[in-house]
A = this chain, B = another copy of it.
Amino acid sequence: MPVPEPFARSLAEASAPLADRFHATRALMEALVAPLSDADATIQSMEDASPAKWHLAHTTWFWETFLLRDHAAGYRLYDERWPFLFNSYYEGEGARIARFSRGMLSRPSLEEVLAWRAHVTTAMEALLGREELSSLVELGIAHEQQHIELLLTDIKHALFCNPLGPAMWEGAPKPAEERVAAGWHEHPGGIALIGHDGFGFAFDNEGPRHRVLLEPFALSNRLVTNGEWSEFIEDGGYRTSSMWLSDGWAWVQREAITAPLYWRDEEYFTHQGWQARDLNAPVTHISYFEADAFASWAGMRLPTESEWEAIGQLGDPASGNQLDRAEPVLPGGSEGMFGDGWQWTRSAYLPYPRFKPAAGAVGEYNGKFMSGQFVLKGASCATVRGHSRASYRNFFYPHQRWQFTGLRLARDLA
């Protein structure tokens, strides 16, 4: 089910009218769940993941709470019992169900949630033109786009947990073209400017823009591939403790990890079910621990966030293999710094100098997660085109890998 064309085009264009981008985002999420049954949209496969229906509802709760409730005169909540169900983690917004109980919400049904979405989308019309709300609306759009990506990765995991390995979309992916020469982006070091410059929307954690000092380095011009990962496995990568961080090695042994998530024999699990694995495509669904071990094995290292960003600033963040419409997503065709898979950096997710969280409940958005996680840069095949930026800071715990997470190698220059 295609997103209506005028909307689809608006997604990637920051210059498109705000209202268009709002509608395009809302419509895209709804188009993505079209292949799902009510039951598909209800199940939760692990604590890290949420049901598809929950994503549909939670993003709607965001608009209803922070825009309609607070700014639309006389707006009444669609259902007063639902905020308890669909608040995610905003302590400032009161109690909410335990995270792992999201999978118990067979009611409201998918149909009821979609009706709520339509109601809220319509009610939002009146606010989209109000200048003083535009930054909140921008935030809401960005928030909903994040949940579009999570919806895609969460439902992939849920379908994977079904021994039947059901496909969300029929058909088979087309193979990636063989990559020709791998090369390097070289950087002479020196002072670079990092972080968002304040023109246009960004999350609070991307700023303030600040100077960093870099030593000369090089970044690979492409992501590590499935074929290269197979060599790592064949060379005993998962059995050689000296390549691993201590926590990583403990994780490998405790969880009996021997390959990326979703690998099985010569196949991998995709939104189109089990498919032959494409050796030329970028590897994804690896943890930080695995990415770091691979880099050690390859005699290189992961980039820092600043290094990545210094190079990434030169690219077009709306380029590459990213999400434009409700279609199967799979790494495969990217060139450039964005698309295919998020790229682990060796930088912990910590506040930038003089970072201040946004005020109010929306300020709980980013700052409170600044411990124990690593930054990922770029964008994946499941990222809404136009959503990411060079300054974008994605973050996950080092063992997590149900996102489209891959790696790009770095090395020091003399």
> Which residues of A approach B to under 8 Å, CB–CB?
37-43, 45, 81, 84-85, 89, 91-92, 97, 101, 103-110, 158-159, 161-164, 166, 191, 210-213, 215, 241-242, 244-249, 288-289, 292, 346-348, 350-351, 353-354, 364, 368-372, 374, 398, 412
- Taking a contact as CB atoms under 8 Å apart, the answer to whether B103 and A163 are in contact is no
User: Contacts A38-B38, A191-B213, A247-B372: A162 and B107 contacting too (C-beta < 8 A)?
Assistant: yes
Q: Which residues of B contact A346 (CB under 8 A)?
A: 350-351
- Taking a contact as CB atoms under 8 Å apart, the answer to whether A353 and B215 are in contact is yes
Q: Which residue of B lies closest to A364 (CB)?
A: B242
Q: Which residue of B lies closest to A85 (CB)?
A: B163
Q: Which residues of B contact A84 (CB under 8 A)?
A: 163
In the complex, the 10 A-B pairs of residues with the closest C-beta atoms, listed nearest first: A348-B348, A39-B106, A39-B42, A91-B241, A104-B161, A38-B39, A40-B106, A246-B368, A107-B166, A213-B213
Distance in angstroms between the alpha carbons of A249 and B211 in the assembled complex: 32
User: Contacts A103-B103, A107-B40, A110-B39: A371 and B289 contacting too (C-beta < 8 A)?
Assistant: yes
Quote the shortest CB–CB distance from A163 to chain B (angstroms): 6
Distance in angstroms between the alpha carbons of A353 and B214 in the assembled complex: 9
- Taking a contact as CB atoms under 8 Å apart, the answer to whether B43 and A162 are in contact is no
Q: Which of B106, B244, B348 contacts A350 (CB under 8 A)?
A: B348
Q: Which residue of B lies closest to A110 (CB)?
A: B39
- Give the one of A158, A248, A370 with max B CB within 10 A: A370
12 further contact pairs, Cβ within 8 A, besides A43-B43, A106-B166, A107-B162: A39-B42, A39-B106, A39-B107, A39-B109, A92-B242, A106-B162, A107-B166, A211-B213, A212-B213, A245-B368, A249-B368, A346-B350
- Taking a contact as CB atoms under 8 Å apart, the answer to whether A43 and B42 are in contact is yes
Q: Which residues of B contact A350 (CB under 8 A)?
A: 346-348
Distance in angstroms between the alpha carbons of A346 and B372 in the assembled complex: 11
Distance in angstroms between the alpha carbons of A41 and B353 in the assembled complex: 46
- Give the one of A210, A211, A244 with max B CB within 10 A: A211
- Give the one of A101, A104, A162 with max B CB within 10 A: A104
Distance in angstroms between the alpha carbons of A371 and B397 in the assembled complex: 10
Q: Which residue of B lies closest to A208 (CB)?
A: B215
Q: Which residues of B contact A85 (CB under 8 A)?
A: 163-164
Quote the shortest CB–CB distance from A352 to chain B (angstroms): 10
Distance in angstroms between the alpha carbons of A163 and B104 in the assembled complex: 9
- Taking a contact as CB atoms under 8 Å apart, the answer to whether A42 and B42 are in contact is yes
Quote the shortest CB–CB distance from A124 to chain B (angstroms): 25
Q: Which residues of B contact A374 (CB under 8 A)?
A: 371
Could you list 17 examples of A-B contacts with CB < 8 Å?
Answer: A37-B39, A37-B106, A39-B41, A40-B106, A42-B42, A89-B246, A97-B163, A107-B164, A107-B166, A211-B213, A213-B213, A242-B364, A245-B370, A248-B371, A346-B350, A346-B351, A354-B412
- Taking a contact as CB atoms under 8 Å apart, the answer to whether B412 and A398 are in contact is no
